[in-house]
Chains A and B, each alone.
Chain A
Amino acid sequence: MEDNSSKYQVFVVNSAKYLTLTTTKYDRRKKWIQTDPKEIRSIIPGSIIDVYVKPGQKLKAGEVLLTLDAMKMYTKIEMPFDGVIKSVNIAVGDKIPKNMVMITIE
């Protein structure tokens, strides 16, 4: 094996520090981010078929916000809890990427 000692990194497991190399997959891992329940994000790319709400509108949990066309399926996105719409960042016909903040709630 080639000499990799210059590439060693410090790696902490249970408070102990180890010298070691890392793997590509480890380096590419995604950092976990706390999601904000007040942001309605797209979990899949698609296009917007319908938007039923406007900023300032007061809604109850379960009321439909929009219809998203993704993977040949029309999916209705619902209000997760009672609240007021703060912003609507999408319009009918928009093609949206994954993880886009479509609607925010106050």
Chain B
Amino acid sequence: MSFKRNILDLRKRKKEAQQGGGEKAIEKQVAMGKKTARERIKAILDENSFHEYDLFVEHTGRDFDMEKKVLHGDGVIIGTGTMYNQPVAIYAQDFTVAGGSLGLMHARKITKIMDHALKMRVPLIGINDSGGARIQEGVNSLAGYGEIFYRNTIASGVIPQISVILGPCAGGAVYSPALTDFVFVVENISKMFITGPSVIKSVLGEEISMEELGGAMVHSEITGNAHFFAKSEDECFEQIKKLITFIPWNNAQKALKFPTQEPKIKKSIEEIVPVDPHNPYDIRDIIKAVTDGSDFFEIMEYFAKNIVIGFGRIQGNTIGFVANQPMYLAGVLDCDSSDKAARFIRYCNAFNIPIVTLEDMPGYLPGVDQEHAGVIRHGAKLLYAYSEATVPKVTVIIRKAYGGGYIAMNSRHLGADFVFAWPTAEIAVMGPEGAANIVFKKEIDEAEFPAEMRKQKIQEYKEKFANPFVAASRGYIDEVIEPSETRARLIHSLEVSGSKVDQRPSKKHGIPPF
């Protein structure tokens, strides 16, 4: 026996194992418009950087004739590699092997790479493409899921965790992505649900397709489970590669600094915003007017469109933007927008990313559905997240800042480091229309021409209170600035906040209104 023979034997074994479920299964995968697990890993990582582990792991199923079956790698590929020459850990479920079903060893492989990622403080990327629990392995499958969820939770806020849903992800399996920081979905490929269409039909008599129940757009637009929607796997991989440039490798680091660029927006910033506070515009144009190269990477673009969140850079540093969007639902706060923004703020805080808030919002969305959906509980998340955050926090009030929403949108009172207001800002307990109706009720009711009187009183209130100067006179805002100064002010305020220290009482953890 020579080395050569051993090596040839090893190569043969590797080649066989790397075949996964074999040619036919791969053909089927491709026919569904999907890439194979290996192709996916390759597409995300730097060229030739992937190192695999546990290729020879075999399943331990001994019931229902499972002992006769060979499942290469037990349906999941794990390893490490690099992105932009920095280390990352990755796993990809291989649907060609027993439908990517999760048995004990499959889960052991995933938890092994998770432990590694956490110990080495590197991001973890999980590619989900699985039919669910391997029923033949019974409670061992459940144990496997539980051990993954536990690690997702322990690693949360320490290393970035990214979930990519590239196939079915159903039943218990959905909770691992839900516990991670960012979930990527692809149209017609991603399917996420607790209970599938067939069970829903048999139990409840409700008929619905998989795509309508838990497709990519449903989770992007309706449930808010997904953060990034793509039309193809390739587009999805580009999104992952872009996201990773904005975030630090772990919670003890800062995101990579890039060379400073001036914004590309040609229009002057005043031209974007209509002076009449009742007219809409796209708040993303303002974000792009202040970020380097006018680059803004939006997160959860389709969910709760009345608030915009995402990353941009100012002087090369990653900034998390939270901004009311007057274009949708007048930019009101509601259950979903509070939820969306609060989680993002907590992400930024956990990973040392300063937060810039752009405010233009008329208040909370009125309605029985909102009240009964718990707008109090969800709204409180936003207050909690802003108050809790100790990263630099800067607010710019563009137009409306009324009532509870004024407090919630990173006001001075919740610990904002800098608050600026445009001269068009209206900082008041409520809008002139609502306030006049209450404050001048008697005068309006008793007037000979109530409509005229109402108009006059609205104007009166507007002049007196719907401006930034009352708040400025109390020091609640630090400076009323010209719109064109916005970027310069942000640059300076973030610069002087660079070494911010904000010590809080030590505690196990707070009790946010989950």
Contact = CB atoms under 8 A, between A and B. Distances in A.
B363 A32 contact: no
Contact of B330 (A13, A25, A44): A13
B330 A18 contact: yes
A12 B329 CA distance: 9
A24 B221 contact: yes
B402 interface: yes
B326 interface: yes
A98 B203 CA distance: 11
A81 interface: no
Interface residues of B, number: 40
Nearest to B303: A25
A62 B305 CA distance: 47
A13 B365 contact: yes
A20 B274 CA distance: 13
A26 B305 CA distance: 10
Interface string A1-19: 1001000100111111111
A20 B326 contact: yes
A4 B279 CA distance: 13
B336 interface: yes
Contacts of B329: 11, 20-23, 26
Contact of A4 (B278, B327, B366, B434): B327
B437 interface: yes
Contacts of A21: 280, 305, 327-329
Contacts of B362: 13-14, 16, 18
B372 interface: yes
A94 to B, nearest CB: 13
B306 A23 contact: yes
A11 B363 CA distance: 12
B431 interface: yes
A24 B221 CA distance: 8
Contact of B205 (A4, A14, A45): A45
B450 to A, nearest CB: 14
Given A18-B362, A19-B280, A20-B326, A13 B332 contact: yes
Contacts of B305: 21, 23
B431 A23 contact: no
B135 interface: no
A44 B431 CA distance: 43
Contacts of B203: 45, 71
Nearest to A29: B369
A97 interface: yes
A13 to B, nearest CB: 4
Nearest to A23: B305
Interface in A20-55: 20-26, 29-32, 44-45
Nearest to A70: B203
A25 B282 contact: no
B198 to A, nearest CB: 15
B221 A1 contact: no
Sorting the interface of chain A by its residue count into under 10, 10 to 19, 20 to 34 or 35 or more gives: 20 to 34
Contacts of B430: 14
Interface in B455-493: none
A15 B433 contact: yes
A22 B332 CA distance: 11
Given A20-B329, A21-B280, A45-B203, A14 B363 contact: yes
Contacts of A31: 369
Contact of A32 (B328, B369, B432, B434): B369
B496 interface: no
Nearest to B326: A20
B204 interface: yes
B280 A16 contact: no
B368 A32 contact: yes
Contacts of A97: 205
Contact of B431 (A15, A19, A20): A15
A25 B221 contact: yes
Contact of A14 (B204, B336, B433): B433
B279 A23 contact: no
B222 interface: yes
B328 A22 contact: yes
Given A16-B431, A32-B369, A32-B372, 15 more contacts: A1-B285, A4-B327, A11-B329, A13-B330, A13-B431, A14-B363, A14-B431, A14-B433, A14-B434, A16-B277, A16-B432, A17-B278, A20-B329, A23-B304, A31-B369
Interface of B: 203-205, 221-222, 277-280, 282, 284-285, 304-306, 326-332, 336, 362-369, 372, 402-403, 430-434, 437
Interface of A: 1, 4, 8, 11-26, 29-32, 44-45, 71, 95, 97-98
12 contacts: A13-B362, A14-B362, A14-B430, A14-B431, A14-B433, A15-B431, A16-B278, A17-B433, A21-B305, A21-B327, A45-B205, A71-B203
